[in-house]
Amino acid sequence: MAKHSGFLAGLVLACGMAVPALAQDEAAPTADTVVATVNGTEITLGELIILREKLPAQYQALPDDMLFKGLMDQAIQQATLEQSVEAEKTKRDEIWMRTDARSYMAGKALQALVEAAVNDASLQAAYDAKYANAPAQKEYSAQHILVDSEEKAKELKAQIDGGADFGELAKANSSDTGSAVNGGDLGWFGLGMMVKPFEDAVVAAAPGSVSDPVQTDFGWHLIKVNEVRDAAKPTIDEVRDELAAEIEQTVVEAKLAELTGAAEITRPGDGLDPALLRDATLLDK
């Protein structure tokens, strides 16, 4: 069943039904204002507001009178369903509600922390530290020949040292068919874009030189570095999301370290068999 199907059905029934305004002489409504009762259980205006906030944006944009009636009907229906099984509430149900409440409050704490930490000033400071004030990164233009054995790589290296054309040997011998058709050309790439042994060989090579055979998980490479240049620094807008994620990670890790360091924590569960996580029958005992 679609998550909001019941709510939408309620909206269809409620369409066009205006909600009477509260009397002018009543106190101004608050989140605790009671909008309905079900067998004595109160449903408040605050609960309807939360239900609205949980809706997808396109449903929140519906007319207020339609939403109010539909959400009140939904809350009433949920209350009747809840009451119908109240006597059947199990340990599993209680644990679900407890963990959901903990997750919600933890999420609220993280959201507040992140919203306070990520702003124009912190983004600019992070950008300056990582890009604006940092030495320029290098970019490399290179070709390679990929073969399946060191012996084959050495054989081709000897041919290159003897004057054979690198690009032609790549076309004829490289198992990297994507680059072989272009003479092994890999274009321009920066640090972190290639596997470590390949990158190390590229960084160590002088422009115009051909490396000795280099082994990676893909096979054996001969690498010719053609040019090296300073990489263009990105603008702050181009890396805004990246910087925001790094700031978030930093402040969250620091806050968690602070809170856990100050908390009195015991871990009697460390001695339990980890396989107990799979025993869902414990929830029903």
User: 236-283: per-residue pLDDT in tens?
Assistant: 999 999 999 999 999 999 999 999 999 999 999 999 999 999 999 999
Angstrom distance (rounded) from CA 185 to CA 142? 6
Structure tokens at 227: 């040019």
Q: Is 56 domain-assigned?
A: yes
Q: Which residues pair with 36 in a beta bridge?
A: 43
> What confidence tens digit (pLDDT) does each residue in 165-182 have?
999 999 999 999 999 999
Do 100 and 239 lie in one domain? The reply is yes
Residues 71, 119 share a domain: no
pLDDT tens figures, 71-95: 999 999 999 999 999 999 899 999 9
In a domain, 265, yes or no: no
Domain membership flag for residue 155: yes
Helix (H) or strand (E) holding 37: strand 34-38
CATH of the domain at 200: 3.10.50.40
Give yes or no: residues 143 and 219 share one domain.
Answer: yes
CA distance 127 to 112: 22
100 and 41 in one domain? no
C-alpha closest to that of 56 among 109, 2, 16? 2
Q: Are 131 and 51 part of one and the same domain? A: no
Q: From the centroid of its chain, how far is CA 208?
A: 41
Q: Is the same domain home to 93 and 81?
A: no
Whether residue 131 is found in the same domain as residue 244: yes
Helix 5-14 vs helix 64-84: crossing angle, to nearest 10: 130
Angle at the Cα of 39 (from 33 to 41), degrees rounded to 5?
35
Tell me if 275 is assigned to some domain: no
Contact 283, 95 (CB under 8 A): yes
CA angle 249, 254, 257 (to 5 degrees): 125
Which residues constitute the domain of residue 104? 89-135+233-251
Its pTM stands at 0.61
- Residue 284 in domain: no
Residue 111 covered by a domain: yes
Residue 97 lies in a domain: yes
Q: Looking at the structure, tell me whether residues 52 and 182 fall in a common domain.
A: no
Please write the tens of the pLDDT for every residue from 5-43: 454 544 444 443 444 444 444 689 999 999 999 999 999
Give, in order, the Cα–Cα distances in Å from 164 to each of 158, 171, 214, 243, 283. 9, 12, 19, 47, 72
Measured over the CA atoms of residue 5, residue 6, residue 7 and residue 11, the dihedral's sign is positive
Say yes or no: 45 and 169 in one domain. no
Indicate if 84 and 220 belong to the same structural domain: no
Do both 226 and 245 map to the same domain?
Answer: no
Q: Which burial class, exposed, middle or buried, applies to 213 when counting CB atoms under 10 A from its CB (0-12, 13-18, 19+)? A: buried
268 within domain boundaries:
no
- Quick: pLDDT tens for 118-140: 999 999 999 999 998 888 889 99
Locate 114 and state its tokens. Answer: 């992140």
Number of domains in the chain: 3
Q: Same domain, yes or no, for 237 and 201?
A: no
